[in-house]
Amino acid sequence: MNPSAVTGPARPEIVKGAVLSGVINAVVNGAIQAWLLRGSEVIPLSVDGISAGTHTVLGSAVPLAVSLAMILTAVAHLTVKGPKKPFFPTTLWLVVKHGLFAFGALVAGAVVWQRLFGTVEVGLVTAVILLGVIAGGVSAMVNYMTISEIVE
């Protein structure tokens, strides 16, 4: 396909939109996590054991990232104006793919972190910043990947 024939947004516009989406989601989800974790003095990043029953930063990041990846993929499809690929099967597949990617990346990262550094406890501010950065990163990547894939 001839790059000049692309009718969708140009790559710099997609990147700009993805960064903006990432920053907004980092702030919003950081604030939500601050409210949810209020009253906690220290929170472990990870613990050695799946059934430890302890609230951890990376344990909270997994469902946050998976849900954001799936929801924001569908939202990106709905907000793109102009010609785009159909929701089914293109975007529906992206919803599943982005959710699985977020799950795998965060779980693998948490396992490697635990193996290399063990249980490290952080304060509330650090935990909130990490969760906000993860939410922002997921949001930016998902936005960019979705729009790049669905525009015609």
- Lookup result for tokens 């304060």: 123
pLDDT, residue 110, reads: 94
Question: Taking a C-beta distance cutoff of 8 angstroms, is the pair 143, 17 a contact?
Answer: yes
Buried residues in 52-84 as b, exposed as e (16+ CB within 10 A): eeeebbbbbbbebbbebbbebbbebbeebeeeb
pLDDT, residue 1, reads: 44
pLDDT, residue 113, reads: 96
pLDDT, residue 50, reads: 74
pLDDT per residue rounded down to tens, the chain (152 residues): 444 444 567 889 999 999 999 999 999 999 999 999 999 999 999 998 877 788 999 999 999 999 999 999 999 999 999 899 999 999 999 999 999 999 999 999 999 999 999 999 999 999 999 999 999 999 999 999 999 999 97
CA-to-CA dists, residue 1 to 6, 84, 118, angstroms: 8, 16, 49
Q: Is 29 helix (H, G, I), strand (E, B) or coil?
A: helix
pLDDT, residue 41, reads: 93
pLDDT, residue 8, reads: 67
What does DSSP assign to residue 4?
A: G
pLDDT, residue 92, reads: 97
